[in-house]
Each structure stands twice: as structure tokens, then as C-alpha cells.
Structure 1
Amino acid sequence: MNILITGGAGFIGSHLVERLAAQGHCLTILDNLSPQIHGLNCPLVAKVRGCATLVQGDVRERTDWLKALEGQEAVVHLAAETGTGQSMYEIDRYVDVNIRGTGLLLDLLANRPHKVRKLLIASSRSIYGEGKANCPRCGVVYPTERPDASLRLGDFEVKCPICSGNTQQLATDEGSKLHPSSIYGITKLTQEQLFLTAGRSLGIPATALRYQNVYGPGQSLSNPYTGILSIFSTRIRNGNGINIFEDGLESRDFVYIDDVIDATVAALMSPAADHQVFNVGSGVATDVMTVARTLCDAYGTLVPITVSGNYRLGDIRHNHADLSLIAERLGYAPKVDFAKGVHRFTQWVLQQETAVDAYQQSIDEMKRRGLFN
């Protein structure tokens, strides 16, 4: 199949390109090679050039889409601005790239001749906001974002929207309420809805994959806005301390890149995925303090770890995926647990040049804008 992968020179995209090329597909990449994501002389670019046609362009440019779409039978749309914190002040850029760029693709498919017969969009766990929870008094609830007033007092727990009592995290399934708490999350939800709605109206099967926190070799080590394992790794390798936000018990579902590619290929190729949405994760919640300690142990470097009580507006407290649907429909089951995945990731990191640690500048920027406390 002729497959266009937007963002194909990025972390997830480059791994997907390698897998699909090995299966004999003819691949084209549309990527703007953003310095924030790729840095300088990114090895991923050289890697994908060997197995795909690279169109350097912007998803906001009609002529770039027309060039990249020629002869394509499937589109995997990974290209997006990422980063919860950054999205809260670079609102126009996130909306422009993520929403208008997606809308432009779909507009072209609606109004010009093409051969596309499959669409796949990278969505995000961020669209669930605080996700699904259990209240001892009220049962299953879907909490709203935590108010700044509570966070300032050091109360980081997620509250029941009915009785305001503390809740307990549950695995979030695809039928859960969608109410993102960040601009980034809003743009990802809009992307997903655009794909699914347009896909149905145009008669093109579309699938949305709600990725959890993806990590592994090839992840950007210089982007200070996204990827907690890469951010912490760069801090550690520079001998800098780690500031753990809130109380260190906030958690995420960390899913290894190979498992993500398994799920993505299955969704792209299986008719059982048509017009469906699926969570893609490990199904396990890991707290941030565990992440920091595990990385320090893996690198054999002890840096100061401070639980500061700081917080960022737009961050969620917990989220981990219910994988029942993707297991049933596509036979997906994650193969790489956190311990094994971190070992593979850190061994790769140690083979890379130590990246410049720009994380503090990103935090300072958020402080200036009143988004970090």
C-alpha cells in the first residue's frame, strides 16, 4: 500500500516507517523537521530517508499536502504540536497546526480526486482530562479539572464532582467522558472528531488511537516541553536535580514504543478498526517519584530529587488506560513492561550525546505567564 505518514520523521513516526517499510509498503513522509522536536542533525531524519520519500513541508500549507497526497492509499496523521504546558500560552500555534492542519487535509479529500481508503489519527489520553474515578459515596464519576485554589493549598487529590470527596483512580475506557483540561487536549479531541466525522461522510474508514505516555529509543532528549522520561534523563545526565511536582504520587500510563507500533499497524491494517477509537497504553499506572528513582538507578547517578509541591495548570493527576476494547477487536496486548522498557530506553540514552538541559527555561516561561506555581 502507498501510505503517507505525517510527522514521519518524529519519534513515533520513524518507528512506524521502519516497521511498515519492512513489510513492503511504499511510504511518504510529510514533516516540517521542527527544531524543537528534532534538534540539530537529528539521526531520525537520516534513518527514515533510507526507507521513505521525505516531503519537507507544513500541514498548514495546501501545496505541501497536495504534493504529499499524490497517489496515497492511506494517511497516518501523527504531525502535531505537543506539550500540555506550552499549549496553555502558545494557543494560536497549537490550534493552527493541530486543528487547521487536520482540517486542510480533510478539505482536500472532500473536494479533490484521491485514492485514500484509510485514515488513522494519533489522538491522546489528554482528551479524558482527569479520566474515570470511583467515589466511595457516589460511585463511578468523571471529575473536572482541579481548581487552582485547592492546588495552592497543597490539596492535589481529584474530587468527586457531586459530593466533593476524594476519589480513587479507575482505568479509563473509551466510553468515558471527554473533557480535556488543556489547550493541547482540546486540539487532540478536535482532531479526532474531525477525522471520524469526515471519514464517515466521505466513506473513508477512519480510526483514532488515544496514545498514553509513549517512550523509548529515538525520543527527543532536547525537547523540554514533553516526555517526562527524556526530560528527567537529560537532567540526570547533566548532573541537575529533579523537581517532582505536587507530592510525587501523580501517575501516568507509560507505554513502550514497540507496543505502540504494534497497535498502530494493527489498527491501520484491520477492518475491525474502521470508524473506531482505541486506547493504546500499558494499562498500568506508574507514579512520577518511581520514574525519577528508576532512572537514577539505571544511570547509576544520584541527583537531588525534590518533592516541591509545585504544579502546572492544565496537568492531570492520574490516568491509565482500560485496554479491553483494543484487546478484543485487534488482539493488542502490551509486551514490554515498565522495568524492561526503561532498561532499553536508558541503554539507548547512554549511547547518545548529552543534550543541553533547557527544562528550567520552559518552567521559567510558564512562571512568567502565571501557569506554574
Structure 2
Amino acid sequence: MKNILITGGAGFIGSNLSLELINKGYSITVLDNLSTQIHGENPKVTSPLYKSIKDKVTFIEGTVTSRADWEKALKNQDVVVHFAAETGTGQSMYCIEKYTEVNIQGTAIMLDILANTPHQVKKIVIASSRSIYGEGKYIHPELGAIYPGYRNEKDMLEGKFELNYEGSSDLVLVATDEESKIHPSSVYGITKQNQEQMIMTVCPTIGIAPVAFRYQNVYGPGQSLSNPYTGILSIFSTQIRNNNPIQIFEDGKESRDFVFIDDVIQATVLGIEKEEANGHVFNVGTGIPTDVVEVANSLIEAYAINVPVTITGRFRLGDIRHNYADLTKIKTKLGFEPKFTFKEGIKKFSAWVLEQEIQEDKLSKSLDEMVKKGLLK
């Protein structure tokens, strides 16, 4: 399987995967629309992600919402890695039609073509997301494993951010495994769930091996420093380098599993190359939660720029409190082991950031949009 199509292959994860697969001898085709939100206003001139793959891949500038672009891109491909998607959790709550069209309809067009026309595709790898879980997994003292739903707005307005269940505050956070309840709390999460389920359901019926990776919060050199809608490390980095204060939502103790880009690429290559991956869904992360205050302090230390950090108590409706990955399955089936701790990853990420031009801090604009929509309290 030498010919691989990567949709969204000029993006952060896609471009890194493209370069790794080229080094391994694969022939790569990239379908990407060079979104200005990710690549800037003049991407072919200024986007380092695009320039990193330019002339190394067969590049098709197009969109996954176009049947013609899909038909062109799928020709002679053995494997499809489907990364192309709109990715902002908060933004998805008011750009609903756009997220649904790109993420769900784009995937549906691909599958419709593969189900109804001749092709040579043997495997599809879909980029799913930890967002499909919604809140993570907890242990209740009497009930065992439980999966709390939305947090109560009234409680959060009173500064009560931790989860409770049936009046109990004695919940113990544990790692979220692949058998955990799927109950996304954002439109983005819903679209990723839909993508994953379509791929895992349709592909076996048409002779294609499906693989889904539920990526946790991916970061590292190359991610967009100008996109204010996604990527807390890049958002904080841009604020710090502009000497702007960091305002942290809730009480700063909300946590995520931050996974370094090199580990994500390693896992994805295993999914492409190993038959043991076929038909399975895997978490990809570090298996360790890190809270937002630690993220902010780590970046301030790395850049040696002492900006104020304020715990605001504000919150976004639809945000989850905690989630981190159980990696038992991917370690057992694919032999995956994350190589980078958060501390090691931050060191590499911040060193790269310091080599980049300081970007305009656009966070306040994105937050104003959420306030107007009633999503930021």
C-alpha cells in the first residue's frame, strides 16, 4: 500500500504525517483547502505548514465538500487518512451548519464515492477525537463507573466546577477507555462521533479496513499560533509573547491529556501499517491529566516572560471538566508507547515558538463572539 491520500494534509498533524510517510517511502497526495483560519491570508506564501510539504507531495487545493475534488484525490489511492475537519469546540456551537457540512457531509461524500464507484482503497484511518466522550470516566463510591452529563450552569455561576452525581461529591476521576460512554458536549464532538461511526460502519461492508484514532489534545512545533479558536498552548503562547495577561476559565483546575505531535504521528503510522489495527478504535494520548494552571505556568517559565495570570471563574457552556486517555488497548494491540512527557514536550514546543514571529493576539475577538452567542458566562 504505497499511495496514501491525506485530507487536511497541509494542517498541523497532516503535514507532520506527510513528511514522516515520505521518509518511509510512501507516495503522498494531499487534499487541503488551505483555510485562512489555520494558514493565514496568503497561505502559499506565508504558511510554514504548507511550505513544509510543497513539492514533496501531490497537492490538490480543494475541499472535502466537493465531490469532484474527492474523485480526483481518491484516484489510485491505497490508503486514506481523513484529517480534514473544522476543529474549534467553542466555535462549533454557533457555526453549526459549517461544522456539519465539512465534518459529516464531507465524510459522507467520500464514503458514497467508495461505495458506488471502482477504487483501490484498502484502508481508511479517521481522525476521531476525545471530544466524543464528553466528560471523562469517574468512579462513584456506590454506583461504580459513571459518566456525568452536562454541568449545571447554576452551580458553575456559584463557582462549583467539579462534577457531582446524584448528590455525591465523592467522584474519583479515572482514565477514559474506548468502551466508555459516548456523550459529546459540543457540536464538534457530535460531528467527530458521526465521522467515526460512519467510517467504522460502512467500510467493512465495502471491503475497506477502518481504523479510528481518538486523539487527545495534540500540540507541538508547527501548530497554528494565530488561530484563537483551538489549541490552548498556542493561544497562551501568543498571549505571553505579546505581554498580555492570561485569563483562565473556571478555577484553573480543569484538566486535559496533552499529547506531543511526534507521539501522535507514531501512533498513526502504526495504524496505517499494522493489520492488527484494522477494525479498531484507539485512544491516543499520554494517559496523564494536566490542569490549565500548570499549562500557563509552564509556558510562562519556558518563555521567561512574567505575565499576570488571573483565575476568572468565567466558563464556556459545553466545556468539559476532565478527560484523559486509558492507553491499554493501543499499547497492547499496536505496541504504542508515548515517548514525550508534558515537560519534555513543552520544552520542544516553546523552543520552536521562540523561533517564530510574534502573532497578533486574537483571543478577545473570539471570546466576544462567544459572549454574544450566550456561550461564555
* TM, length-normalised to structure 2: 0.97
After superposition, residues 317-328 of structure 1 pair within 5 angstroms as 317-328=321-332
For 1:195 and 1:50, the matched residues in 2 are separated by: 30
C-alpha contact (below 8 Å) 1:221/1:231 kept by paired residues:
yes
Structure 2 unaligned residues grouped into runs of 5+: none
C-alpha contact (below 8 Å) 1:158/1:166 kept by paired residues:
no
User: Which residue in the other structure is 1:124 paired with?
Assistant: 129
Among the aligned pairs, what percent are the same residue? Answer: 56
Structure 2 residue 80 is the aligned partner of structure 1 residue 75: yes
**Residue 225 to residue 166, structure 1, CA distance change in 2 (3 Å):** farther
For 2:131 and 2:36, the matched residues in 1 are separated by: 24
For 2:168 and 2:69, the matched residues in 1 are separated by: 50
Structure 2 residue 166 is the aligned partner of structure 1 residue 165: no
After superposition, residues 197-216 of structure 1 pair within 5 angstroms as 197-216=201-220
C-alpha contact (below 8 Å) 1:157/1:167 kept by paired residues:
no
Bigger shift: 247-256 or 165-174?
A: 165-174
Corresponding residue SS for 1:144: coil
2:158 pairs, out of 153, 174, 198, with 153
For 2:339 and 2:51, the matched residues in 1 are separated by: 28
After superposition, residues 23-102 of structure 1 pair within 5 angstroms as 23-39=24-40, 40=42, 41-102=46-107
Corresponding residue SS for 1:295: helix
Structure 1 unaligned residues grouped into runs of 5+: none
User: Which residue in the other structure is 1:235 paired with?
Assistant: 239
Q: When the two structures are aligned, how many residues end up with a matched partner?
A: 372
1:329 pairs, out of 318, 329, 333, with 333
Structure 2 residue 6 is the aligned partner of structure 1 residue 12: no
CA displacement at 1:167 relative to structure 2: 1.7
Corresponding residue SS for 1:84: coil
- Which AA in structure 1 matches 2:18? V
Bigger shift: 38-47 or 258-267?
A: 38-47
CA displacement at 1:134 relative to structure 2: 1.3
Deviations 1:155-194 (CA, angstroms, capped at 9, x unpaired): 101122x444342211000000000001000000000000
C-alpha contact (below 8 Å) 1:199/1:275 kept by paired residues:
no
Bigger shift: 144-153 or 88-97?
A: 144-153
- Which AA in structure 2 matches 1:68? A
* TM, length-normalised to structure 1: 0.99
For 1:283 and 1:262, the matched residues in 2 are separated by: 16
After superposition, residues 186-265 of structure 1 pair within 5 angstroms as 186-265=190-269
After superposition, residues 290-329 of structure 1 pair within 5 angstroms as 290-329=294-333
User: Which residue in the other structure is 2:354 paired with?
Assistant: 350
C-alpha contact (below 8 Å) 1:4/1:68 kept by paired residues:
yes
CA displacement at 1:311 relative to structure 2: 0.3
CA displacement at 1:137 relative to structure 2: 3.2
